Structure 1
Amino acid sequence: MSDMPWLTLIGLGEDGPEGLSPASQAALSEADVIMGPPRHLNLLPDDGKTRRISWPVPFADGIPELMKLRGRPVAVLASGDPFWFGAGSVITRDLGVHEWRAFPGTSSFSLTAARMGWPLEHTTCLGLHAAPLSRLRPHLAPEARLIVLLRDGQAIHDLGAYLTDQGFGDSTLTVFEALEGPWENRTDTRADAATEHAFSHPVCVALTVMGQGKALPRTSGLPDDFFDHDGQITKTPMRAVTLSTLAPCKYERLWDIGSGSGSIAIEWLLSDPTTEAIAIETRPDRTKRIKANADTLGVDGLRVITGTAPEALGDLPAPDAVFIGGGLSEALLNHLQETLCTGTRLVANAVTLEAEALLTHWQVKLGGTLLRVELSRARPLGAKRGWQAAYPVIQWSVTL
């Protein structure tokens, strides 16, 4: 086997091979096998020699097929830039760095921004070919600009319905079909009128958000009415304090033990798209509610475990931070002390006298900070108003 990589990823536009660089054209001519979507294969002239393989659906089924060709000169065709919401990272994930090379084309995002006159650095770009439309939710705010890739023409109708349901039916949609190809087409419409038009794959949407829908605040402590719950929820003010203490950072993972409504784990994930979270909850009805809340707020990647801590923690990937909102016990704290890595941040909230005594004991044992939070709200008191106090919350935070 030569030193030349056996696999070449080529970003192909809808105009076919004419726009390819000389290096890309050379890689195509040298390939024994070309894999790609049927529409891309159909753009290439047939030399009668090179074997062609249509990439199967679902996409994952094509990886084993590709690996059978390992060592032979293979070209894989992809849309635009394979490494921007494309297939590149999935295809090369288990390959050595010397086994492949890539010649990206112009991405659909760049082409759309050029058509719209939008500065790409100030535009949110999302690939939703196989992801739920709810991933849009954190980005929906009046005047926001988004460029969205979707799986097919029907998905444009789904997008319009989703935006309308969220209160953003006034949003303007500019739909591009077959960007930079001979059949490129542009349609300007509104979200609530998207079903009046028919669209064909491949499609890309430039979206300007408009309407009276509720934008998600960017600070921690979302209003409680963003979450469906049965009363088991860390309320807005205390949630803001708790998330500030947990201090999520990029690429960090949270365990949310006794998750209730999932509010802490969900807001952890909303803090940055690189974060991870696992919610552990004993009651199946609550785990179902946690998943629904996560989907509604656009963090469908939340992992939810039905079980009791510490028994349910054994096989989970190690956390960077742990929050105990329910199920606090001596056994749980002992388990966490014995098994968690040095540097793990631990935050526990308690309301009962028994839980307060337990946290006080552990603060003496391991150090950290004890915080007592007392909140009151103004309520009617006869013809006037008075303060109604909530139960005080004791918070213990420590770095192990």
Structure 2
Amino acid sequence: MSEAPWLTVLGLGEDGLDGLPLASRQVLERAEIIMGPPRHLSLVPDFGAQQVEWPVPFADGLPILTGFRGQSTVVLASGDPFWFGAGSVIARNFEAGEWAALPGQSTFSLAAARLGWPLESTQTFGLHAAPLTRLRPHLAPGLRAILLLRDGKAVTELATYLTDTGFADTHLHVMEALGGPRERARSVSLTEALLGGFDHPVCVGLEVAGGGQAFPRASGKPDEIFETDGQITKRPIRALTLSALAPQRDEHLWDIGGGTGSISIEWLMCDPTLSATTIEPREDRAERIRRNADALGQDRLQVVHGTAPDALNGLPLPDVVFIGGGLSSELLQWLHTTLPSGTRLVANAVTLESEALLAQWQDMLGGELLRIELAQASALGPRRGWKSAYPVVQWSVTL
């Protein structure tokens, strides 16, 4: 029979012990060490256990916690530790048999109950340790969302951000210390929210309204949402390229020759489990990619300033590779000999030389070769005619 876990992650509400089931209370009473943020520790009476404050940044607490291995230890977390909480971090860093979890009532459940919103159709965001820009791809009139925020000042920052993005008519439901004796809930406009006066812990219900630009859900986001110097895969080609890349859950993309970063940014927008690294040889463009990713809520994009294939050494291997710039025989040979079987590759070419290179490699490795020719209506004297863009040749193959 295996030994009982020495570590328990316990979800605590703002009502302290009053809201705990008997099993959770008994675990606290038997603990040798109780570790958590100062606010959580203040909600627990002195049972004789050693109390340890979890440091900031959060990662610094893991070595301390590891040092308690073998002693009966309780880590205090807010509500449900596995809903934007500490539970997933504990689970990643300790063996399954070492820990157990006793979740409490989540802040999202309490907030939805106060607002009368069905959680299954309400988006939830944990922004207590993430930038407000994570909201940007989701902002659209009619959106209802519940947000966990860092502190009371973040409510004012949120109101400023929503105003700046064009959603100034959004209504906020600000809820402080839900479930505890200090609970307070107010519905305010963004103008009222700018006055501040909100206390931690705080969550906010959003009812988004205003004339801000809502991003389409389909691939091929508008070109104008990206800051660019003109080096960008235009919207129709980007939509076809994302279709060829065919992102699937948990996959990692290498975007070689990032330019503006539009391909890797749209890749990340497809699903929160996706990850991406973009490689860009020009420093100014690498910095621009970083700004685009941050502004569009994709701050998890890894940007590498360097030239492929040299810059690819040491990077986590991809599931999918896109070549939008820097195409060469040397690069294709490196990818062919280095990447594991099953890696998908998509390359776009515009020049005659790069077209010929793709045709040569398609003849060797197979895959699909596609020629994309687009024309746009434009003025032709007093009338209109078709203005053709440079054709793009796209090669898609599974190595």
Alignment match, 1:25: 25
Whether contact under 8 Å (2:32, 2:73) holds in the other structure is yes
The Cα of 1:370 is off from its aligned counterpart by 1.0
Instruction: Give, in whole Å, the separation in 2 of the partners of 1:51 and 1:395.
Output: 63
Query: Which SS does the other structure have where 2:204 is aligned?
Result: strand
- Report 1:304-319 matches (<5 A): 304-319=303-318
Alignment match, 1:337: 336
Alignment match, 2:121: 122
Instruction: Give, in whole Å, the separation in 1 of the partners of 2:254 and 2:99.
Output: 37
Query: Which SS does the other structure have where 1:341 is aligned?
Result: coil
Structure 2 letter corresponding to 1:86? G
Whether contact under 8 Å (2:155, 2:196) holds in the other structure is no
Deviations 1:186-216 (A, max 9, x none): 1111224311231010001011111000111
Instruction: Give, in whole Å, the separation in 1 of the partners of 2:191 and 2:307.
Output: 45
Deviations 1:367-388 (A, max 9, x none): 1111111111111111111111
Deviations 1:257-297 (A, max 9, x none): 01100000000000101001110000000000001111111
Alignment match, 2:322: 323
Query: Which SS does the other structure have where 1:212 is aligned?
Result: coil
Query: Which SS does the other structure have where 1:65 is aligned?
Result: helix
Alignment match, 2:3: 3
Deviates most, 36-45 or 225-234: 36-45
- Report 1:317-396 matches (<5 A): 317-396=316-395
- Report 1:1-400 matches (<5 A): 3-47=3-47, 49-400=48-399
Instruction: Give, in whole Å, the separation in 2 of the partners of 1:201 and 1:319.
Output: 41
Instruction: Give, in whole Å, the separation in 2 of the partners of 1:268 and 1:167.
Output: 25
Deviates most, 82-91 or 55-64: 55-64
Instruction: Give, in whole Å, the separation in 1 of the partners of 2:307 and 2:137.
Output: 31
Structure 1 letter corresponding to 2:37? P
Instruction: Give, in whole Å, the separation in 2 of the partners of 1:54 and 1:2.
Output: 30
Whether contact under 8 Å (2:9, 2:77) holds in the other structure is yes
Whether contact under 8 Å (1:164, 1:192) holds in the other structure is no
Structure 2 letter corresponding to 1:15? D
Query: Which SS does the other structure have where 2:359 is aligned?
Result: helix
Instruction: Give, in whole Å, the separation in 2 of the partners of 1:257 and 1:197.
Output: 45
Instruction: Give, in whole Å, the separation in 1 of the partners of 2:150 and 2:268.
Output: 25
CA RMSD of aligned residues (A): 1.2
Structure 2 letter corresponding to 1:275? L
Structure 2 letter corresponding to 1:334? Q
Structure 2 letter corresponding to 1:87? A
Instruction: Give, in whole Å, the separation in 1 of the partners of 2:176 and 2:49.
Output: 30
Deviates most, 23-32 or 50-59: 50-59
Structure 2 letter corresponding to 1:257? I
Deviations 1:120-172 (A, max 9, x none): 01111110111110000111011111100011000000000001100011111
Query: Which SS does the other structure have where 2:194 is aligned?
Result: helix
Q: What TM-score, normalized by structure 1, do the two folds share?
A: 0.98
Query: Which SS does the other structure have where 1:149 is aligned?
Result: strand
Whether contact under 8 Å (2:348, 2:392) holds in the other structure is yes
Deviations 1:230-264 (A, max 9, x none): 11111011111111111111111111101100000
The Cα of 1:66 is off from its aligned counterpart by 1.3
Structure 1 runs not aligned, ≥5 long: none
The Cα of 1:2 is off from its aligned counterpart by 8.3
The Cα of 1:92 is off from its aligned counterpart by 3.1
Query: Which SS does the other structure have where 2:117 is aligned?
Result: coil
Number of residue pairs the alignment of both structures matches: 399
Whether contact under 8 Å (2:152, 2:196) holds in the other structure is no
Whether contact under 8 Å (2:153, 2:196) holds in the other structure is no
Deviates most, 1-10 or 251-260: 1-10
The Cα of 1:64 is off from its aligned counterpart by 1.4
